[in-house]
Amino acid sequence: MNRKAVGNKKVAIIGSGYVGSSIAYALALREIAREIAIIDINKEKASGEAFDIRHGIQSMGTADLYAGDYSDCKDCDLIIITAGRNRKPGETRIDLTQENVKIMKSVIDSVKEHYNGGVILIVSNPVDILTYKVTKWMNLPDGTVFGSGCILDTSRFVRCVADYVGLSTGVVNGYVVGEHGDGQVPVWSEVSIGGVPIAEYCDAVGLKWDESVKEDIATRTRTMGADIISRKERTHFGIATCICHLADAILNQKPTVAAVSSELMGEHGVRDVALSVTSIVGPMGVHKRIRDRWAPEEYRAFFDAVESTKEVLKQIDI
């Protein structure tokens, strides 16, 4: 099926839990979409979320937002899938795999009945596994299906670096690649402060910069999701704003570079798996995966994530 041109700014959000409803609220508040359909097996829950969002001050969100069904996937520019069981305290994203793959297969079977174009963005976890499976099930042009991947990890990483150097996030450039989970890889060789490599910056201002500092920041970035879940049982605001950024790139034709997950087609010598690399995201989804040059240890960590993700894929019987 050919990709269709963006124009309606219509979005379907499948799943009205904390993540789905937070995304709907953020999209409405920023007026990124003109039409937003919230779809859930529990239609009363979806209706409640839609009413709650619609009842805000009208001048702060004018989208036509409603509880819909799978028929509303027709003519969408963007379909965002958040359906699935949430991660429990002490549980890894991979622990969710088998159950959420089954849920995702059911969702995709329903989407296929009405799908006639548009980008499909996977947010459900484990996002890399689900992105790969949906890519195969949908059989659409490269990049039409992609996952949120490491965009949230990157945002957390940049925040941690900014906190360490005592500056705003706006002057920090850096990203995380690999798995959205324990196999994430901070690309330290590309981190800069105001365009200055971070090691040089820290040396110039008298800040300590060594492997222990890097490991502390990397660990805090990697464990932040689990830490938030242990404190409040869920995460949803951070990913909602990240998805808004991607939706803006897709719906308003504002291409951006982000570390998102899509099936790799030979980048870094890798195929048959979906993981995050820096990518150009625009109206048709992932337009191009950027072939960055990393440090040797970063390549090794990325290839470890490739192998561990492929091992999980081998164990899935759906």
> 278 with 259: CB under 8 angstroms?
yes
Entry field: residues in the chain: 318
Regarding predicted confidence, which is higher, 188 or 62?
188
Span between the terminal Cα atoms of the chain, in Å:
24
pLDDT at 208 over 90: yes
pLDDT at 177: 98
Q: Radius of gyration (Cα) for the chain, nearest Å?
A: 19
Residue 305 in tokens: 């994530």
Q: What is the pLDDT of residues 86-120, one digit of tens each?
A: 777 777 767 778 889 999 999 999 999 999 999 99
Distance, CA of 142 to chain centre:
17
What is the mean predicted confidence (pLDDT) over 124-148?
97
pLDDT bucket at 58, cuts 50 / 70 / 90? confident
Secondary structure percentages of the chain, helix, strand, coil, to 5: 45, 20, 30
Contacts of residue 28, defined as CB under 8 A and 6 or more positions apart, other chains included, come to 36, 53, 56, 61, 63, 65
> 65 with 36: CB under 8 angstroms?
yes
Percent of the chain with pLDDT over 90: 86
CA angle, corner 262, sides to 240 and 236, nearest 5?
A: 15
Q: Which CATH number describes the domain made up of 10-149?
A: 3.40.50.720
Residue 245 falls in the annotated catalytic set: no
pLDDT at 122 over 80: yes
Q: What is the pTM of this model?
A: 0.94
Q: Catalytic one among 55, 114, 180, 268?
A: 180
pLDDT at 168: 97
* Distance, CA of 108 to CA of 239 (rounded, Å): 22
pLDDT bucket at 7, cuts 50 / 70 / 90? low
Q: Which class for 4: exposed (0-12), middle (13-18), buried (19 or more C-beta within 10 A)?
A: middle
| Residue ranges of domains in the chain | 10-149
pLDDT bucket at 189, cuts 50 / 70 / 90? very high
Q: What is the pLDDT of residues 209-264, one digit of tens each?
A: 999 999 999 999 999 998 999 999 899 999 999 999 999 999 999 999 999 999 99
Strands 119-122 and 78-81, by their bridges, are: parallel
Average pLDDT score, the chain: 94
> 1 with 27: CB under 8 angstroms?
no
pLDDT at 1: 39
